[in-house]
A and B are shown apart, each in its own frame.
Chain A
Amino acid sequence: MMAFYFSRLVEIFPFFLTGLWMTTKVAFISLITCTLIGFILGMIRASNNVLLKRLVGIYVAFARGTPFVVQIFIVFFIFPEWGLQLEAFPAALLAMAIMGSAFVCEIVASGINSIPKGQWESAASSGLSKMQQLRLVILPQSMKVIVPPLVGQYVLLIKDTSVVSVIGVMELTRVGWVTVVRIPEGLMVFALVGVLYFSISYPLILLSNYLERRMAI
């Protein structure tokens, strides 16, 4: 029986590849949006504007304090009540952006805060504007602190894309879930799904380890 299911699984393998492609797509788009939004929010969070800082703080607390599944349900089921009806795929991207940018924001903010005050002051006394201080002096230095955990966070984000299967996005986990109904070999099907995830995220883990060693003071 095992061999029979195995040959079925080999037959159905292209289906898994479409799932892998979908996972890659969701992951890639959301990594970019999360990085962009996260950097902007992180700069706000490390700034001196008390009101904006508080607002971002509340957002980050919400995004980090609730599970991703709940956030997806909120985006997919509650946003329509508030007038934002989305298909599964854009809803998944939006939920990923909401969750991921909060984590990136915290990493960026702590990176910026790790730079000694003297750097700001000396940049200011060189006549740079606030934006130039941040862009030319502070950010390049804080990259050393930001990049290694950021890559680690990317791995977590890629893994979190598996959760968007709950609203029916046909990505890798969902493909496994659909397949296991027809090929009742849970171990085999989800081992395959796991191997495919491994093939995307393990290189990033190695990169993260490498960067951590490389950028260590």
Chain B
Amino acid sequence: MLDNFNFRIIFEYLPLFLNGLKFTFLISLVALFLALITGIIACACRISSIKVLKYPVIAYIEIIRSTPLLVQIYFLYFGLPTLGIRVPEIQTGIIALMLNSGAYIAEIIRAGINSVDQGQIEAGLSSGLNYVQRMRFIILPQALGVTVPPLLGQAIVLVKDTSLLSLISVVELTRSGQTMTSERFMPSEAFLTVAFFYMCIYFCLKALADWSQRKLIFREAY
């Protein structure tokens, strides 16, 4: 099956792969950070009672959730230039990932907040806390414990999703596999190496997610 698997060529191309890995890391980190901010803002709008904020955000979340990420990436990639906005591919990709993950993160946070028992809020009310104080001292500390494992799950999804940016010619891990294939036509060496690197990232994040599921905080809230 793999009798003529050529390790030498992998070592020869290792700098290419490491460069790809570096960009996958960078893109994931930046996109995750921005998506967290987007998600928090979107969630705040989603649970607010102001209709002007609430309904557009609902539309945003539902649209993102029911269309594929690849279509969203192409939409921005081919669409932004027609609006006269010219940005590099990598930024287009990060914006697409940010919008996509932001919607999912908003839903995750909302599920966390909803999981806090109604009685807790009433207890806060009767202790004379205002909305911000209730959020700060009662709801968010409890919601956080429920939110962290699925957020790490979303981080795993986000890292895998960065591979789609290779299709709009952003240089990252999958792209370096494609580059090597087109230069040497050795797809098994190229893509199995790429898969190996993704697996490494996956196992690290998975271990972190499992750990947070076991360890994380505020269990006594249930």
Q: What is the interface of chain A, defined by CB distance below 8 A to chain B? A: 61-62, 64-71, 73-74, 77-78, 81-82, 155, 159-163, 165-166, 172-173, 176-177, 180, 184-187, 189-191, 193-194, 197-198, 201-202, 205
Contacts and interface: CB of A to CB of B under 8 A. Distances in A.
A166 B75 contact: no
A186 to B, nearest CB: 3
Nearest to B205: A65
Which of B75, B164, B194 counts the most chain A CB atoms within 10 A?
B75
B222 to A, nearest CB: 14
Given A64-B202, A66-B202, A190-B74, A205 B174 contact: no
Contacts of B166: 69
A176 B198 contact: no
A184 B191 contact: no
B194 A81 contact: no
A177 B74 contact: yes
Given A62-B199, A81-B187, A173 B82 contact: no
**Chain A residues touching B, majority SS:** helix
Contacts of B71: 162, 172-173, 176, 190, 193-194, 197
B126 interface: no
B191 A155 contact: no
Contact of B188 (A81, A191, A201): A81
Contacts of A68: 160, 163
B22 interface: no
A81 B206 CA distance: 32
B195 A74 contact: yes
Contacts of A194: 63, 67, 71-72, 75
B122 interface: no
B66 interface: yes
A166 B206 CA distance: 28
Contact of B199 (A66, A193, A197, A202): A66
Interface of B: 1, 62-63, 65-72, 74-75, 77-83, 160-164, 166-167, 174, 177-178, 181, 187-188, 191-192, 194-195, 198-199, 202-203, 206
A67 B174 contact: yes
A173 B70 contact: yes
A177 B174 CA distance: 20
A159 B164 CA distance: 13
Nearest to A205: B66
22 contacts: A61-B199, A61-B202, A66-B194, A66-B198, A66-B202, A67-B160, A67-B162, A68-B160, A68-B163, A69-B164, A70-B198, A73-B191, A74-B195, A159-B69, A163-B70, A165-B70, A184-B82, A186-B75, A186-B77, A186-B78, A201-B67, A205-B66
Contacts of A187: 75, 78-79, 82-83
Contacts of A184: 78, 82
B75 to A, nearest CB: 4
A208 to B, nearest CB: 10
Given A61-B203, A197-B71, 9 more contacts: A69-B167, A73-B174, A159-B68, A173-B74, A176-B74, A184-B78, A190-B71, A202-B66, A205-B62
Nearest to A65: B202
A197 B81 CA distance: 23
Nearest to A189: B78
A198 B199 contact: no
A70 B74 contact: no
B113 to A, nearest CB: 17
A194 B78 CA distance: 14
A187 B78 CA distance: 7
Contacts of A160: 68
Given A70-B195, A190-B74, A191-B75, A78 B188 contact: yes
